[in-house]
A and B are shown apart, each in its own frame.
Chain A
Amino acid sequence: MNEPIVEFKNFGFQYNAQAEPTLYDINLKIHKGEKVLIAGPSGCGKSTLAHCINGLIPFSFRGESTGTVTIMGRETKDLSLFEISKTVGTVLQDSDSQFIGLTVAEDIAFALENDCVGEPEMHDRVQKAAQIVNIESHLLHAPSELSGGQKQRVSLAGVMVDDVDVLLFDEPLANLDPATGKSAIELIDEIHKETGAAVIIIEHRLEDVLHRDVDRIVLMKQGRIISDTSPDVLLSSDLLLENGIREPLYLTAIKYAGVKVTEEMLPHSIRSLKLSDDDRGSVVSWFRSTPPRVREENRPYLLRAKNITFSYSSGHRALTDVSVDVRKGELIAIVGTNGAGKSTFSKVVCGFEHEQEGEIEFTGCDWKNMSLKERADHVGYVMQNPNQMLSKPMIYDEVALGLRTRGLSEDEIRPRVEKTLKTCGLWPFRNWPVSALSFGQKKRVTIASILVLEPEMIILDEPTAGQDYRHYTEIMEFLRDLNSEGVTVVMITHDMHLMLEYAERSVVFTDGAVIADDTSAGILTDPDIIKRANLKETSLYDLAVMCGIEEPREFVQRFIDYEREVFRS
Chain B
Amino acid sequence: MRNIFNYIDRPSPVHRLTGATKFICLLLWSFAAMSTYDTRLLVLLTVLSFVLFYISKIRLRDVSFLLSFMAVFMILNNILIFLFSPQHGVTLYGTCHELFSLGGRYVVTKEQLFYHLNLVLKYFATIPIVLLFVCTTNPSEFAASLNRVGVRYTIAYSVALALRYIPDIQKSYHEISQAQQARGIEMSKKQNLVKRLKSASTILIPLILSSMDRIDVISNAMELRGFGKGKKRTWYMARPFKAADIAAMAVCALLLGASITLNVINGGRFWNPFV
Contact = CB atoms under 8 A, between A and B. Distances in A.
A114 B224 contact: no
A210 B218 CA distance: 30
Interface residues of A, number: 67
A54 B222 CA distance: 12
A112 B235 CA distance: 9
A375 B210 CA distance: 27
B223 A85 contact: yes
B181 interface: yes
B181 A372 contact: yes
Contacts of B221: 92, 97-98, 100
Interface in B184-238: 184-186, 202-203, 205-206, 209-210, 213-214, 216-230, 232-238
Contacts of B234: 112-113, 116-119, 122
A144 B21 CA distance: 29
A109 B233 contact: no
Contacts of A118: 234
A376 B184 contact: yes
A394 interface: no
Given A106-B237, A111-B225, A372-B182, A60 B140 contact: no
Given A114-B226, A114-B227, A115-B226, A123 B236 contact: yes
Given A102-B163, A435-B209, A402 B183 contact: yes
A105 B235 CA distance: 11
Nearest to A98: B221
B160 interface: yes
Contacts of B202: 391
A62 B232 CA distance: 29
Given A114-B233, A119-B234, A159-B225, A102 B185 contact: no
A381 to B, nearest CB: 6
Contacts of B172: 387-388
Contacts of B62: none
B98 interface: no
A69 to B, nearest CB: 16
A33 to B, nearest CB: 22
B155 to A, nearest CB: 15
Given A102-B139, A110-B227, A118-B234, A373 B181 contact: yes
A449 interface: yes
B176 interface: yes
Given A111-B225, A113-B235, A376 B182 contact: yes
B72 to A, nearest CB: 24
A103 B226 CA distance: 19
| Residue from A114, A118, A162, A402 having most chain B Cβ neighbours under 10 A | A114
Contact of A100 (B179, B182, B218, B230): B218
A461 to B, nearest CB: 11
B220 A60 contact: yes
Contacts of B12: none
B199 to A, nearest CB: 10
A390 B210 contact: yes
A269 to B, nearest CB: 32
A113 B184 contact: no
B224 A102 contact: no
Contact of B232 (A116, A350, A387): A116
Interface in B128-147: 139-140
Nearest to A389: B179
A20 B22 CA distance: 56
Contacts of A117: 234
A94 B210 CA distance: 14
Contacts of A143: 164, 168
Contacts of A105: 236
A101 interface: yes
Given A352-B182, A435-B209, A119 B218 contact: no
B167 interface: yes
B2 to A, nearest CB: 8
22 contacts: A81-B224, A92-B217, A92-B224, A97-B218, A100-B222, A102-B160, A109-B236, A110-B227, A111-B226, A113-B234, A113-B236, A115-B226, A116-B233, A122-B236, A159-B225, A373-B186, A376-B183, A376-B184, A385-B175, A387-B206, A391-B176, A405-B185
Interface of B: 2, 139-140, 160-161, 163-164, 167-168, 171-172, 175-176, 178-186, 202-203, 205-206, 209-210, 213-214, 216-230, 232-238
Interface of A: 54-56, 59-60, 80-82, 85-86, 90, 92, 94, 96-98, 100-103, 105-106, 109-119, 122-123, 126, 142-144, 158-159, 162, 314, 347, 350, 352, 372-373, 375-376, 380-381, 383, 385, 387-391, 393, 401-402, 405-406, 435, 449, 453
The 9 closest A-B pairs by CB, nearest first: A405-B184, A109-B236, A114-B226, A391-B206, A82-B229, A376-B182, A97-B217, A402-B183, A111-B225
Given A92-B224, A373-B181, 20 more contacts: A59-B223, A60-B220, A81-B223, A82-B226, A82-B229, A102-B139, A106-B140, A111-B226, A113-B234, A144-B168, A352-B182, A372-B178, A373-B182, A375-B182, A387-B172, A391-B180, A391-B203, A402-B184, A406-B184, A449-B183
